[in-house]
């Protein structure tokens, strides 16, 4: 095993990447609140070999249960930056869904300002543009019954999980931390990114509107595209093939051509 492959295999932030020495682009994928990297495990087989999928595992979930979840965007971005930076030695793109979209965006900004690198493409899914104020009341510090009721209303977790006391005891601290990241996030105005941005969303999403997604165009100097898919806030779990087809279509603008 090469030194780089060994470092990737032992990095807790990178969950089960399928290493491919022939890949020309790495796609780092950031999950939504409460979710782990496993939601992206099937992506490699549905994408061409030119793309190397790196699911990002945030602290506190799945194989990182012993790591306390982080509850502020600043500390999450700083930790992720340090963990991913050694693996940005080839062209890379970010895909983030909901919380993951905001994390991918802020990570792209800190990489630009502190390290002089940036993704060749940023995919933001099911999250309003960061400059739009969140007018929803915060829920991360609600009493448990009210917090669970709110989580249930979002329709992002299966009935089996919601009705399992053991699983909910594991998930509630993660969910509270993830919601705290978003609800305490304070957007700071900076120059737009110098990479294309693609914003994706669900047509039946009751929380993020088309206008919310379209406002991401203000965060890039380069091209912007907006795509809407059948489904709600968690549309990506319902029709992965349609999503990945669109992703590859957008990446053709930036992915290096085969030699």
* Active-site annotation, residues: 98
d(CA 220, CA 254): 14
Instruction: Tell me the HSE value of 166 on the side-chain side, using a 13 A CA sphere.
Output: 0
Are residues 16 and 9 in contact, defined by beta-carbon separation less than 8 angstroms? no
Secondary structure (H, E, C), 18-40:
CCCCCCCEEEEEECCCCCCHHHH
Which helix (H) or strand (E) segment holds residue 171: the answer is helix 165-183
Structure tokens at 220: 């890039």
Write out the H or E segment, with its range, that includes residue 198.
strand 197-202
Spatial CA neighbour of 39 closest among 72, 20, 62: 62
DSSP letter at 232 equals: S
Q: What are phi and psi of 197, to 5 degrees?
A: -125, 135
- Facing residues of 125 across strands? 97, 200
Burial class (CB in 10 A: 0-12, 13-18, 19+), 185: middle
Smallest CA-to-CA distance from 184 within 41, 73, 85, 52 is with 73
């Amino acid at each position: 095993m090469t030194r780089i492959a060994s470092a990737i295999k032992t990095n807790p932030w990178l969950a089960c990447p399928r290493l491919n020495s022939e890949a020309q682009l790495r796609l780092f994928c950031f999950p939504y609140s409460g979710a782990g990297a496993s939601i992206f495990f099937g992506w490699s087989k549905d994408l061409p070999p030119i793309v190397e999928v790196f699911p990002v595992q945030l602290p506190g979930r799945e194989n990182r249960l012993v790591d306390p979840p982080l509850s502020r965007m600043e500390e999450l971005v700083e930790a992720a930056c340090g963990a991913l930076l050694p693996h940005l030695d080839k062209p890379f793109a970010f895909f983030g869904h909901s919380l993951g979209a905001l994390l991918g965006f802020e990570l792209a900004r800190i990489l630009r300002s502190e390290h002089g690198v940036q993704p060749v493409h940023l995919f933001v899914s099911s999250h309003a543009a960061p400059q739009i104020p969140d007018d929803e009341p915060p829920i991360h510090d609600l009493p448990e019954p009210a917090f669970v009721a709110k989580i249930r209303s979002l329709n992002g977790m299966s009935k089996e999980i919601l009705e399992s006391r053991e699983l909910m005891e594991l998930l509630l601290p993660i969910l509270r931390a993830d919601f705290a990241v978003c609800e305490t996030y304070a957007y700071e105005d900076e120059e737009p990114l110098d990479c294309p941005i693609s914003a994706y969303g669900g047509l039946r999403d009751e929380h993020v509107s088309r206008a919310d997604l379209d406002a991401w165009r203000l965060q890039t100097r380069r091209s912007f595209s907006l795509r809407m898919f059948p489904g709600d806030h968690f549309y990506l779990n319902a029709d992965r093939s349609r999503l990945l087809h669109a992703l590859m279509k957008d990446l053709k603008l930036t992915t290096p051509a085969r030699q």
